Amino acid sequence: MSKLVSIRGAVTASDNKQSITNAAVRLADRLYFKNGITDNDVVSVYFTVTPDLTAYSAARAVRESGHNVPFMSGVEPVVDGGLKGCIRMMITAYSDNPARHVYLNGARALRGDIAGNYAIALDGPSGAGKSTVAKLVADALKITYLDTGALYRALGLKCLNEKVDTTNAQAVENCLKDAKVDIEYVNGAQRVMLDGDDVSGKIRTPEVSMAASVTSAMPYVRAKLLGIQREIATNSSVILDGRDIGTVVLPNAEFKFFLTASAEVRAKRRFDELTAKGQSVVYDDVYNDVVQRDKNDSTRAVAPLKQAFDAELVDSDDMTAEQVAAFIVARVSGDVQ
């Protein structure tokens, strides 16, 4: 039975038309999406903006983005210590669920009490530096990090251990049917458990990389790992890195980034990483692996590597992991418009 609910949200913007439009439309999209509502459910929408946002009307921007409901807008009185450049929305709507409020960018600080958990989706090709960046971001924001590639690697390892032909989807499914993959956090670090054993150290070999790349294209494998990824994301604020986080696993993540770099730069990083771990590898092999995995990951039929339409592209060719992490932290904290 639908009930009338008041759904609240806020976002910060700079005082120019583009920024106000982007922020207001994004906030409206999130509010509708998170609450599973359409214009048909909405009774009215009320906007307020702080007096420093004069370049454009947030309500008008949302109306121009295609919404056709009764809008009302007003300017807020200045509040001591209040956020600057803030757009607030209150939607009155019929919904089957309790209201899910949305606070984006710096507005999160405003209502940490009702903002709830948030998710950062960090997708991109192998070797783009996702896991290094994700760890730095998680540390800085004190949120949980989930390296989803490790889950696929654990299943790839199981196939290798059992000498299964990884190109045979039925054989892979039979092998993995009873496999139990789990994540544990020990002193803040992620450990991957396969059938009760900690395999975190064993999943970082080129053989496991290739097995995971092949088996992760199989619908059975993806379906098996979807639940655990979503469960971790609903229990706390998280950053997940992977290939399809923003498109499939968490399509309503509050923040989405697509991190990339050229194949040469990525191969060099992977080469340095493996060499530092004492593995003897040849650069050309690592480069060919990167190219091959890119091809596997982006051409597969199920959940291919793809930038979500609402993800922000970050090219890290000329950026250190620290710089990428600082950019994401600033974006999430609302310091970058």
Where does this chain bind ligand DC (CB under 6 A)? 126, 148-149, 152-153, 209, 212-213, 216, 242-244, 293, 297
End-to-end CA distance of the chain: 40
Judged by beta carbon, residue 103 or residue 287, the one nearer ligand DC is 287
- To ligand DC, the closest distance from the beta carbon of 243 in angstroms equals 4
**How open is the CA angle 173-175-176, to the nearest 5 degrees?**
65
- To ligand DC, the closest distance from the beta carbon of 208 in angstroms equals 8
Q: What is the DSSP letter of 193?
A: E
Judged by beta carbon, residue 166 or residue 213, the one nearer ligand DC is 213
- To ligand DC, the closest distance from the beta carbon of 212 in angstroms equals 4
Judged by beta carbon, residue 132 or residue 148, the one nearer ligand DC is 148
Contact predicate 11/38, CB 8 Å: no
Judged by beta carbon, residue 47 or residue 152, the one nearer ligand DC is 152
List CB contacts of 229: < 8 A, sequence separation 6 or more: 146, 148, 151, 240, 242, 245, 249, 250
- To ligand DC, the closest distance from the beta carbon of 148 in angstroms equals 4
Judged by beta carbon, residue 254 or residue 297, the one nearer ligand DC is 297
Listed residue (210, 122, 98) closest to 160, CA to CA: 210
Judged by beta carbon, residue 48 or residue 205, the one nearer ligand DC is 205
Report CA Rg, the chain.
22
- To ligand DC, the closest distance from the beta carbon of 277 in angstroms equals 14
12 bridge partner residues: 86
What CA–CA distances, in Å, run from 134 to 144, 164, 182?
10, 32, 19
- To ligand DC, the closest distance from the beta carbon of 37 in angstroms equals 29
User: What CA–CA distance (Å, rounded) separates 121 from 241?
Assistant: 6
